[in-house]
Amino acid sequence: MVKRMVTAPTPIAGRLPGRIFFPGRSASLSSQIIADVRDALFGKKLKTGDFLGTENEIADRYGVSRIVARDALRTLEASGIVEIKMGKGGGARIARGNPRLFAEALAVQLEMAGVGPAEIMDAQRAIECLAAELAAENANDADIARLRQLIADADASTGDAARFTQLGADFHLAVAEASHNRVLVVQLISLQHVSWPRRNPTLTPKVMRRIQDVHRELLALIEIRDAAGARKMMDDHVKMIRARRVAEAKPKPLPFVPAKAGTQDKTGTQDNESGKRPLGSRSPLRQSEALASRRRVRGNERSSRLRVTDSDDIDCC
């Protein structure tokens, strides 16, 4: 009596029946495999650790070449959806989720799309206000200790603008982490890549003190579980940050550079060979227009200097 050998199906085989593919570009075929895996994930048919199969098994299941299967697996791996193990016992498995891996990628796309500071800060305001509210409701002892330590570290770093700026970003992120909402955390990480400067050129001792005062007040509200108060405090804080970021992104007025006047010899004749009017020898009307323009530019420069001085009062990191 001859025993019949039965090959045990891989976990994915019963959940993702291979489609019948029609001849076409390999890129199109691999995209269909990728779409199948994604649909299965969103449909709860696949979960972390599930084995998809080897390159050969996936190729046989879908009726495609190994090149197509390999291309699909590489794309899924690059997207963080699968982990691939080479050699004996190898193959592709559904990876463990790590949303932080894609925060920077999202930030790059926002930068490439030309999303400006106003849009970024509006989104950040919405995220951080909710994060502060949830932090007051959900923060544990470890979260509180982390926030206290960041404030203490910032107090000790007022002589180092770059480190103080980084600690400010870390504090805001720690508030989001204290909310225990991973979606808010990942979104904030992504936006901080775009919105948070590595070193704030307008940071002054006065601004540093104000930042620390606000952070202490916010921590106190989180500790006493005042969710509404924490939300309001963060809202005011981020609005001031937004004001500075948007102001910093505006183009600076061009400095006034006076034209170099032409010269004449002692006889009063022009020194250029072309016989044209020398520079600086303008008609009364043009001289009046140039004077008015010069005054406007100088006025803009004075206004700009005043705004920079006034910005010391802006509560911002």
**279 is a domain residue:** no
* Domain end call among 249, 284, 308: 249
**264 is a domain residue:** no
Range of the domain at 234: 102-249
**Is the per-residue pLDDT at 29 higher than 70?**
yes
**What's the total number of domains in the chain?**
2
* Domain CATH for 65: 1.10.10.10
* Mean pLDDT for the chain overall: 79
Residue 152 pLDDT? 97
Reading the block at residue 280, the tokens are 């600086």
Q: Yes or no: say if 153 and 122 are a contact pair by the CB < 8 Å rule.
A: no
Instruction: Name, of 22-36, 71-85, 150-164, 264-278, the range with top average pLDDT.
Output: 150-164
> CA 217, CA 215: separation in Å to the nearest integer?
5
Residue 266 vs residue 139, higher pLDDT: 139
How many other C-beta atoms lie within 10 A of the C-beta of residue 110? Answer: 19
Reading the block at residue 292, the tokens are 């008015």
Q: Is the same domain home to 160 and 41?
A: no
Q: Is the same domain home to 75 and 120?
A: no
> CA 55, CA 49: separation in Å to the nearest integer?
17
Percent pLDDT > 90 in the chain is: 49
> CA 200, CA 33: separation in Å to the nearest integer?
47
**Is the per-residue pLDDT at 13 higher than 70?**
no
**Is the per-residue pLDDT at 11 higher than 90?**
no
* Domain end call among 214, 234, 249: 249
Q: Is the same domain home to 178 and 219?
A: yes
* Domain end call among 206, 225, 249: 249
Residue 28 pLDDT? 83
Residue 140 pLDDT? 97
**160 is a domain residue:** yes
Phi, psi of 70 (to 5 degrees): -65, -40
**Is the per-residue pLDDT at 271 higher than 90?**
no
**194 is a domain residue:** yes
3-state secondary structure the chain: CCCCCCCCCCCCCCCCCCCCCCCCCHHHHHHHHHHHHHHHHHCCCCCCCCEEECHHHHHHHHCCCHHHHHHHHHHHHHCCCEEEECCCCCEEEECCCCHHHHHHHHHHHHHHCCCCHHHHHHHHHHHHHHHHHHHHHHCCHHHHHHHHHHHHHHHCCCCCHHHHHHHHHHHHHHHHHHCCCHHHHHHHHHHHHHHCCCCCCCCCHHHHHHHHHHHHHHHHHHHCCCHHHHHHHHHHHHHHHHHHHHHHHCCCCCCCCCCCCCCECCCCCECCCCCCCCCCCCCHHHHHHHHHHHHHHHHHHHHHHHHHHHHHHCCCC
**41 is a domain residue:** yes
Which among 62, 55, 56 is positioned nearest to 35, based on CA atoms?
62
Q: Is the same domain home to 79 and 108?
A: no
Please tell me the least confidently modeled range out of 40-54, 98-112, 239-253, 276-290. Answer: 276-290
206-241, pLDDT tens digit by residue?
Answer: 999 999 999 999 999 999 999 999 999 999 999 998
Residue 55 pLDDT? 92
* Domain CATH for 159: 1.20.120.530
Please tell me the least confidently modeled range out of 1-5, 113-117, 140-144. Answer: 1-5
Residue 20 pLDDT? 44
> CA 278, CA 13: separation in Å to the nearest integer?
86
Q: Is the same domain home to 42 and 115?
A: no
Residue 163 pLDDT? 93
Q: Is the same domain home to 44 and 133?
A: no
188-210, pLDDT tens digit by residue?
Answer: 999 988 888 776 767 889 999 99
Instruction: Name, of 53-57, 80-84, 151-155, 257-261, the range with top average pLDDT.
Output: 151-155
Q: Is the same domain home to 106 and 195?
A: yes
- Angstrom CA distances, 153 to 135, 157, 204, stand at 21, 6, 17
**169 is a domain residue:** yes
**276 is a domain residue:** no
Q: Is the same domain home to 200 and 223?
A: yes
Residue 288 pLDDT? 60
Q: Is the same domain home to 69 and 190?
A: no
**307 is a domain residue:** no
Q: Is the same domain home to 74 and 178?
A: no
The arithmetic mean of pLDDT across residues 283-310, rounded, is 51
Cβ burial of 20 (10 Å; 0-12, 13-18, 19+) is exposed
Q: Is the same domain home to 133 and 49?
A: no
Q: Is the same domain home to 113 and 245?
A: yes
